[in-house]
């Protein structure tokens, strides 16, 4: 048997094994293609199955408790403070959802999982590498400044080119925000880990901010791995969970969230539905909000704060 036939047999074995693990649905169609070689056909080993491409439509659907929507990429504009209708001061971080579109769809038939790649911002072709330019041209989408992949469920898939705006989220829901923290450089134990430090006056000689002992005596005779010591601080990805969405402005694609999020001003952050404080599936647009991209007349939407003044509630 030639090397070509052995390769075709091994390829057919992998295809049949994958089909046996994931049985086709009623709407799945297969096409047979015979590949010839120098040897005769042996037990149908040179028959390949080609599955029809999946058709994804941009239309509203019904969200289930197991559904997982895509996220968005935003730019951190900075922090401020607002006062709600009851007079309570709320620390606010302003996030800008800059022209998010779906730049690639990943399915279980090709990649083995369901995910959506979302692009944010704009960038000139001369500032991109050739592989990046080829990727955008192959998908038929404009050049984007930042890409991020979000795992989704099958019912939350969106076609390439779908616009995802700030109306993807609803005021009052909780989200998880991930980003790269601000780099602090090489820092000592007191700043990096919150150590107390040594005595400030008596009993200390040039070791006021020292971390102290790092090990024992002859046994074990080493410093254990993971010991908290001075080193580089910041510049890593962190996620702040359960961030409350206070207000959104569809006309400017701005989002006001309560509290701080990782990163400096101008950095990219990645927003998705909260994992622990799950929002009400009846209030979320699924798989995303389908409306006018440039709705200049849309009024800002503010979270419902209730009808009870928290300052007037009896202790």
Q: What is the pLDDT of residues 77-117, one digit of tens each?
A: 999 999 998 999 999 999 999 999 999 999 999 999 999 99
Report the residue count for the chain: 315
Cα 99 to Cα 58, 143, 180, 198, distances in angstroms: 17, 11, 21, 52
Provide the 8-state DSSP code for 312. S
Q: Can you give the pTM of this predicted structure?
A: 0.78
E strand segments, 205-287: 231-233, 237-249, 254-258, 268-273
Give the pLDDT of residue 25.
Answer: 47
Domains of the chain (ranges, CATH numbers): 72-185+233-302 (2.40.30.10)
Bridge partners (DSSP) listed for residue 104: 117
Give the pLDDT of residue 30.
Answer: 41
Residue 13 CA to residue 20 CA, distance in Å, equals: 10
Give the pLDDT of residue 74.
Answer: 97
Angle at CA 117, nearest 5°, toward 111 and 121? Answer: 160
Other beta carbons less than 10 A from residue 45's beta carbon: 18
289: helix, strand or coil: coil
Q: What is the pLDDT of residues 79-90, one digit of tens each?
A: 999 999 899 999
What burial class does residue 97 get, using C-beta atoms within 10 Å of its C-beta: 0-12 exposed, 13-18 middle, 19+ buried?
buried
32: helix, strand or coil: strand
Report percent pLDDT > 90 for the chain. Answer: 66
Q: Measured over all CA atoms, what is the biggest interatomic distance in the chain, rounded to whole angstroms?
A: 93
Q: Which two tokens stand for residue 12?
A: 């057919």
Dihedral sign for Cα atoms in the order 144, 145, 149, 154 = negative
pLDDT tier for residue 26 given thresholds of 50, 70 and 90: very low
74: helix, strand or coil: strand
Q: Cβ(95)–Cβ(78) under 8 Å?
A: no
Of 3-7, 89-93, 181-185, minimum mean pLDDT range: 3-7
Q: Cβ(233)–Cβ(191) under 8 Å?
A: yes
Q: Which two tokens stand for residue 145?
A: 């400044």
pLDDT tier for residue 184 given thresholds of 50, 70 and 90: very high
Q: What is the pLDDT of residues 29-76, one digit of tens each?
A: 444 444 444 454 445 555 555 556 788 888 899 999 999 999 999 999
């Amino acid at each position: 048997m030639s090397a070509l036939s052995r390769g075709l047999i091994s390829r057919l074995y992998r295809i049949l094994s994958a089909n046996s693990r994931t049985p086709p649905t009623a709407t799945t169609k297969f096409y047979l293609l015979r590949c010839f070689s120098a040897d005769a056909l042996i037990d149908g080993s040179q028959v390949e199955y080609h599955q029809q491409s999946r058709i994804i439509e941009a239309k509203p659907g019904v969200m289930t408790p197991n559904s997982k929507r895509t996220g968005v990429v935003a730019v951190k504009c900075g922090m401020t403070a607002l006062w709600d209708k009851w007079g309570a001061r709320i620390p606010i971080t302003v996030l800008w959802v800059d022209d998010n579109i779906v730049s690639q769809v990943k399915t279980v038939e090709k990649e083995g999982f369901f995910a959506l790649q979302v692009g944010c911002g704009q960038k000139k072709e001369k500032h991109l590498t050739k592989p990046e330019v080829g990727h955008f041209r192959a998908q038929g989408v404009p050049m984007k400044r930042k890409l991020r992949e979000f795992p989704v469920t099958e019912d939350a898939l969106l076609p390439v080119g779908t616009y995802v705006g700030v109306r993807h989220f609803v005021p009052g829901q909780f989200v998880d925000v991930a980003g790269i923290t601000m780099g602090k450089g090489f820092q000592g134990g007191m700043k990096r880990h919150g150590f107390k430090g040594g005595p400030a006056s008596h009993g200390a000689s040039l070791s006021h901010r020292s971390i102290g002992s790092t090990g024992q005596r002859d046994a074990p005779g080493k410093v254990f791995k993971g010991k908290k010591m001075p080193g580089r601080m910041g510049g890593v990805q962190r996620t702040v969970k359960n961030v409350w969405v206070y207000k959104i402005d569809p006309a400017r694609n701005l989002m006001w969230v309560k509290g701080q999020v990782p990163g400096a001003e101008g950095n990219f952050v990645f927003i998705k539905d909260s994992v622990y404080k799950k929002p009400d599936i009846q209030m979320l647009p699924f798989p995303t909000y389908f409306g006018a991209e440039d709705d200049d007349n849309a009024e800002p939407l503010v979270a419902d704060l209730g009808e009870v003044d928290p300052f007037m509630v009896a202790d």
